[in-house]
Chain A
Amino acid sequence: MRANYKVEAASGVFLLLGLGALLWLSTQATDFGNRLGDENYRISARFTNVADLKPRAPVKIGGVAVGVVEAIRLDPVSFEAIVDLRVDSRFNEIPLDTSASILTSGVLGDRYVGLEPGGSFEYLGEGDELFVTQSAVVLEQLVSKYLFNAGDGEGEEE
């Protein structure tokens, strides 16, 4: 009886230690705490080019994350990319005329969606769409534009 009691106590300690480690890892060493709360709403925005924006990229206002990119789809008629954004319900007073742009954190960093609040007194809600958007800047396009413009300039001078 005595030995059995010891065994049971030891395996109890082991089970609790293991569960404790699971709990600690999941809350401290993963994005568990940073995930969106259950209360959130979806808005969408249309871009002509999303570059390498990916689902789960952050949505930021003034550099602070307020939501995540949920999905990226293509409109089969207009061939625009439709980006669905999920925004935490704590931020439920974002003006209706807010603009969205696809930005890059750092020079080689990941893409994210930056929101620039407008001045309207009506607020965004579930299913609303942002109308003022700015597409991602693609480096190749910038370089080719620069080259062609430079070529045109020289042609006029001659």
Chain B
Amino acid sequence: MKTFVPAPVLEAGRCGLFLLQMLGALRPGRDLFTAVLQQTFLVGARSLVIIMICGFFVGMVLALQSINALQQFGAADQVSLLVGKSLFRELGPVLTALLFAGRAGTSIAAEIGLMKATSQIDAMELMAIDPVREVALPRFLAGVISVPLLTAMFNALAILGAVVFAIGVVGLDAGVFWTKLQTGVYFGEDFLGGVWKSLVFGGLVSLVAVWYGFSARPTGAGVGTATTNTVVVSSVLVLVFDFIMTSFLS
């Protein structure tokens, strides 16, 4: 069939329909709960260590850079405010989503792609088992649940990193550090805004991963392409949606 619609638009449309198909297959129950829990372990708990290490160092480098800049105005005391606001609003959700795409998104896409290449998906369909419901949905839901929690761990470790550097190394006052954080960082705008963002990013990255896995060509090269596409497309989408959501939230 000859089409006049550009390929990316067609792709986006198929991906949207796939999301509807997944949500249509949603039947809450014990089976789904167990499957989601298992996937939460695979995509979430296994990503925890890398997220924590990255968070710690991001917090340290943020504190280091902003203390250098703020000292020129004699405002090194404000460092916790700067670190807290930039983490909660931007860096936490975005960096976690990017790391999640690299750590878990790729493995989801490769796993599903390989299931397709080895005809496991076709076998399921022959046995009248809905692969979208059994394979795609638990991974998608696990991503939506995991990313906000991973973001929280990232932020917590980053704050800890900033504490270690600002208080331990530079020698700022601990009381001033925490007071600035507790008076200047708002629960509604900064904290909940970040949680909201990370929920959307979680859905976005895992949808892209599951979709590319399912639409992979059933060959070795196809699985490779699907994995690459997952990282590229979800990274770009995360940054685009970050801008859109920030302009709507503020």
Identify the A interface with B (CB < 8 A). 4, 7-8, 10-15, 17-19, 21-22, 24-26, 28-35, 56
Contacts and interface: CB of A to CB of B under 8 A. Distances in A.
A12 B40 CA distance: 9
B152 A18 contact: yes
B153 interface: yes
B160 to A, nearest CB: 10
B84 A29 contact: yes
B40 A15 contact: yes
Contacts of A8: 37-38, 41
Contacts of A14: 40-41, 44-45, 48, 146, 149
Interface in B1-49: 37-38, 40-41, 44-45, 48
B152 A35 contact: no
Nearest to B150: A18
Interface of B: 37-38, 40-41, 44-45, 48, 84, 88, 145-146, 148-150, 152-153, 155-156, 159, 178, 181-187, 190-191, 195
Ranked 5 nearest A-B pairs via Cβ:
A18-B149, A14-B45, A11-B41, A21-B152, A21-B156
Contacts of A18: 44, 146, 148-150, 152-153
B38 A11 contact: yes
Contacts of A21: 149, 152-153, 155-156
26 contacts: A4-B38, A7-B41, A10-B45, A11-B45, A13-B45, A14-B48, A14-B149, A17-B48, A18-B149, A22-B152, A25-B155, A25-B156, A25-B159, A25-B191, A26-B191, A29-B155, A29-B181, A29-B191, A30-B182, A30-B186, A30-B187, A31-B185, A31-B187, A34-B182, A34-B183, A56-B186
Contacts of B155: 21, 25, 29
A15 to B, nearest CB: 7
A11 B36 CA distance: 10
A10 B223 CA distance: 29
Question: B-side binding surface: helix, strand, loop or mixed?
Answer: helix
A67 B45 CA distance: 42
A107 B84 CA distance: 25
Contacts of A26: 187, 191
A10 B183 contact: no
Given A21-B149, A24-B156, A29 B45 contact: no
Given A17-B48, A22-B148, A30-B182, 11 more contacts: A12-B37, A14-B40, A15-B145, A17-B149, A21-B149, A22-B149, A25-B152, A25-B159, A28-B182, A32-B191, A35-B187
Contact of B185 (A13, A30, A56): A30
A153 B130 CA distance: 92
B45, B148, B159: which has the most chain A beta carbons within 10 Å?
Answer: B45
Contacts of A29: 84, 88, 155, 159, 181-182, 185, 191
A6 B62 CA distance: 37
Given A25-B156, A25-B191, A26-B191, A15 B185 contact: no
A125 B186 CA distance: 28
A10 B84 contact: no
Contacts of B84: 29-30
Nearest to B55: A21
Contacts of B38: 4, 7-8, 11
Contacts of B41: 7-8, 10-11, 14
B156 A31 contact: no
A56 B186 CA distance: 10
Contacts of A31: 182-187
Contacts of B40: 11, 14-15
Contacts of A15: 40, 44, 145, 149
